[in-house]
Each structure stands twice: as structure tokens, then as C-alpha cells.
Amino acid sequence: MRKLEKLQILKNVGSSWFSLGINVLTGLFLSPFILHRLGDSAYGIWVLIFSVTGYYGLFDLGIRTSIVRYVSKFAATKETENLAKLINTSLFSYACIGVVSMLVTLGVCTFMDHLFRIPAEFHSTARWLFLMVGTSVALGFPLGVFGGVLEGLQRFYIMNWTSTAASLLRTALIIVVMNRGYGLLTVALITVALPSVSSVVRGVVALRILRIGFGFHYLDGATFRLMANYSWITFVVLVAGRLRFRTDEIVIGGLLTASAITYFSIGARIVDYASEVVSSLAQIFVPMSSDSHAKGDMNRLRKIMIAGNRACAFIILPIAAILIILGRSIIEAWVGSKYIGQSYPVLVILIIPFTLMLAQSASGRILFGTSQHKMFAIIALVEGVANLILSLLLVRPYGIIGDALGTAIPLSCTMLLFMPRHVCRTIGIEIPTFLREAYRLPLVACAPMVIVLLLLQHWFVAHGYRQLAVQLLAAGAVYGAGLLWMFRTNRAFRVGDLSAANRIESSNMPA
């Protein structure tokens, strides 16, 4: 791997993890801070409305991923004119989507009371909250174009530094206003305004890097069709993603109570934090694989897949072990012991299939980066529909645990039965070779840490941050020693033999 490329990866991943660390720390502090001041019902409404507006992401229509894909491609092939057409056409498309989103927001605000089981005293607050969040999302569509441009240029570190600054400022402002007695709407205003400011800053930086022209004469039908041919498949993935991961709070809010959303969201939020750690690394594999595919370098693409999934497994396997073994202690230290009984089972049920998914994060990004994600989109949509049906069937008899099972069962099937076979056939590598090269070392590194965690849990159960820190430091030291040995011996990211004996004929992709 070229020295310049290694430096770029280091800057991107390092800044991603730093930004994520800040976001996790502020989230760990703010979530109980807001929860205990607002109460279970108000906090549940907060989670519900952000979950509903999360469905606005469907209006993206897959345009964001097409921006990343083709900015990376056109930058690699020095096609400046096509870059200008791509960005201008994307801006116009997103502006139209933003208008539609605003109209939907106004319509939903009118019928908020009839759609969800919201206590009468929160009806007015819920409407204003939805209006504020919906407006922010509508503005975020055209403003988000430049974030996609920076990702396509592999300038993730710019995205990360602006995100870090916004997180720190948001935390400080929320603490100040809540200590002065302000409530839910003021917190929401701070939460939705700062991302828009960050997007404006990213736009200024992106334009200084590219220096392209703007105008209606850059709007191009051929470019729109190019984006549409790629993004319609991504749109199916977006729909599937909402069904797979963003229906739980809505199902619970419609069939149970607002406070039940709070108990579910505690376990689910911890899993989300784990997902973000891996995603902050995996995002670099879309432009990297797109660049390799554009240059026809299939051998490098295979190495990216193996080394990328191995890196993701190095991260998620120890996190999953910690959450399963120490999950009760983490919840007690974070938000209080009264949430353990319902939130911990949700955490365990979700973290197992999410671990299977996150350990293969590089595989999914490579499918997107090489435009080979059509079959994955179809399977993900089927999984999403199954998720929704199972959640609706199981939530009444089993409560929030049933809803978690509705997510876990289809996701496990996809990640065990479909993803490894499909990606290996697409890239052109034997499944045993892929599994051995990608996951043997992470499993070996994680085993001693699991033993240490089980022994520590047997000797004493942590009830606060100090005791929890002792267990985490001991387990981390053991795992860190194993990783250090692998890095010192150059085993951590060395890819083994990928000769013809370990490869198969790839499908749908030129060799």
C-alpha cells in the first residue's frame, strides 16, 4: 500500500475514532442527564419523533451514495466537467426533495395526536418538536451534498472535525439551558440547528477543494440517469434499512407506551454506539473500493475485503463480549438499576446479530463501492419486511423483548446465510479462505479477554463507574497485549495466499 494512501487512511480513521469518542462520551453523559430531567414519557416522545423523522432518509432516494461513488470515480479519472454536472444535478434534486419533506412535515404535525399514543399534556410540545426536527431534515438534504463530496474525495477527517466541534458545542449549550430551567423544545432547537451549521462549513471547504462552476447549464439529464441507475438500488437498501433498524420505536410507540420506548432505547442505544465505532472505520472502504474498481485492480479489492473485515472484527468482537458479560453493570452505572430488568435483555438480543453484521461491514461497503449491491438490496428489503411483521406479531405478547427478537431473527439469517456467500462469489474468493483470513486472528485475540471478563465478573459485580473501570482496564490490557503482539509480528493486517487455488471466478465484475 502506498505511503500517501496509508497516511490518508490514518487521518480518516484516526479522526473518525476521535470524533466518535467525543460523540459517545457526550452521549453517555447527556442521555441520563436529559432523561432524568425530562422524565420517561417526555424522553420517549423525544426518541419517537427522531425515529419518525429518521424515515425522511427515504427521500434521499440513494442520491447520497451515488455522490460518494461518482465523486470518487470522477476524481480518480480527472473528469472535472462530470464532477460539476454531478454536484449541480444533486443540489437541484435535493432542493426539490427538501420542499417535499417540508410539506410532509406540515401534514404530519396536523395529525400527531391521532398517529401515536402521546399523553394529552404533551400534544402541543410534540407538534412543535416534530416541526423543528422536520424542518432541519428538509434543509439537510441540499446542505448534505457537500458532505457526500468530501466522503468521495476521502476527506473524512474534515467531516469528523466539524462533527466533533458541533458535538462539544451542543453538549455545552444543552447543559446551560437545562440548568436554567428550559425544556424539551429548547434542547431540540440546539440539537437540530448545529448540524446545519456544520453542513455549511463543509460546503465552504468542499468548494475550496474542487473549485467547480455552478449554474443551471450544469444540470444534466445524462448525469441524472447515471445517478438514478445507481441510486434506485441504494434506495431499496435505504427502505430496507429503515424497516430493519428504525421501526422498533414506532411499533412500540403505536402499540405500547411512550415510557416503553425509553426502556427499549437504552439497550438499543448502547448497541448503536458499538455500531458507530465500526461504521466510522468501514466508511472508508466505499471510496477505496470504488477507486480500485475504476482502475481494474481486483487483487487489491480482495485484499481490501479481507483486511477490512478483519479490522472490523478486531473492533466489534471485544465490544460484544464486554456488552454481554458486563451489560448489566454498564446500564446500572449509566442510567440506574431500575432499567436493567427490561433494557439488558434488549441489549443482548440485539448485540449478537449486530456483531455478525458489523464484522462484515467492509463487505457491504465494497458492494456499494463497486456498484454490485443489487442482490443485497433485495435480500435486505425481504429482511426488513420480515422484521416489521415479526415485531408486530411479537410486541404484544412479549413487549419490547418481542420487538427486539423481531429485529434479531431476520438479521441473523441474512448475515449467516446470505452475505458471506454472496460477497465471496462477487469478489471471486473461496468462502473458507475468506473466513480463515478475516476472522481467525480476531477470535484468537478476543478469547483471553473473555476469560478475564468472566473471572472478574465471578469475583465481583460492578455497580458503578469505578468498579466498571477496573474490569474494563484489566480486560483491555489483556486484549491490547494480544493486539500489540500481532502488530509487532506484522500479523494483524497481513493477508495470506490469494493465489488462483484460493480464488473463484467472480460474478458480475471484470477481472
pLDDT in tens, 76-133: 777 778 888 888 888 888 888 889 888 888 887 877 766 666 777 777 777 888 888 8
Domain stop point among 444, 467, 499: 444
Q: What is the pLDDT of residue 511?
A: 39
- Indicate whether 19 and 75 sit together in one domain: yes
Contact between 14 and 156 (Cβ < 8 Å): no
Q: 100-112 pLDDT, tens per residue?
A: 888 888 887 877 7
Grid coordinates of 243: 424497516
Contact between 388 and 444 (Cβ < 8 Å): no
Grid coordinates of 216: 443551471
pLDDT surpassing 80 at residue 358: yes
Within a domain: 497: no
Within a domain: 165: yes
- Indicate whether 153 and 100 sit together in one domain: yes
Q: What is the pLDDT of residue 148?
A: 80
Residue 508: burial class (beta carbons within 10 Å; 0-12, 13-18, 19+)? exposed
Buried-exposed string 400-430: b where 16+ CB fall within 10 A, e elsewhere: bbbbbbbbbbbbbbbbeebbbebbbbbbbbb
Q: What's the pLDDT band for 501 if we cut at 50, 70, 90?
A: very low
> Which residues contact residue 69 at a Cβ distance below 8 angstroms, ignoring those fewer than 6 apart?
152, 230, 286, 290, 368, 369, 371
Within a domain: 473: no
Q: 29-54 pLDDT, tens per residue?
A: 777 777 777 777 777 777 777 777 77
Helix (H, G, I), strand (E, B) or coil at 428: coil
- Indicate whether 296 and 416 sit together in one domain: yes
- Indicate whether 63 and 24 sit together in one domain: yes
pLDDT surpassing 90 at residue 486: no
- Indicate whether 359 and 402 sit together in one domain: yes
Domain stop point among 175, 192, 227: 227
Residue with cell 466533533: 164
Q: What is the pLDDT of residue 449?
A: 94
* CA within 13 Å, CB half, 226: 19
- Indicate whether 417 and 324 sit together in one domain: yes
Residue range(s) defining the domain that contains residue 288: 247-444
Grid coordinates of 11: 487521518
Q: What's the pLDDT band for 321 if we cut at 50, 70, 90?
A: very high
Q: What is the pLDDT of residue 393?
A: 93
CA distance 300 to 307: 10
- Indicate whether 416 and 270 sit together in one domain: yes
Q: Classify residue 247 by its DSSP letter.
A: S
- Indicate whether 137 and 15 sit together in one domain: yes
pLDDT surpassing 50 at residue 183: yes
What is the phi/psi pair of residue 491, to 5°? -95, -25
Residue with cell 442505544: 269
Q: 222-231 pLDDT, tens per residue?
A: 888 877 777 7
Within a domain: 501: no
CA distance 308 to 312: 6
Within a domain: 417: yes
- Indicate whether 35 and 175 sit together in one domain: yes
Within a domain: 281: yes
Within a domain: 239: no
* Of 259, 256, 257, 254, the residue nearest 116 (C-alpha): 254
- Indicate whether 58 and 141 sit together in one domain: yes
- Indicate whether 149 and 269 sit together in one domain: no
Portion of the chain with pLDDT greater than 70, in percent:
89
Counted domains in the chain: 2
CA distance 208 to 211: 6
Domain stop point among 426, 444, 462: 444
Within a domain: 493: no
- Indicate whether 69 and 126 sit together in one domain: yes
CA distance 205 to 213: 15
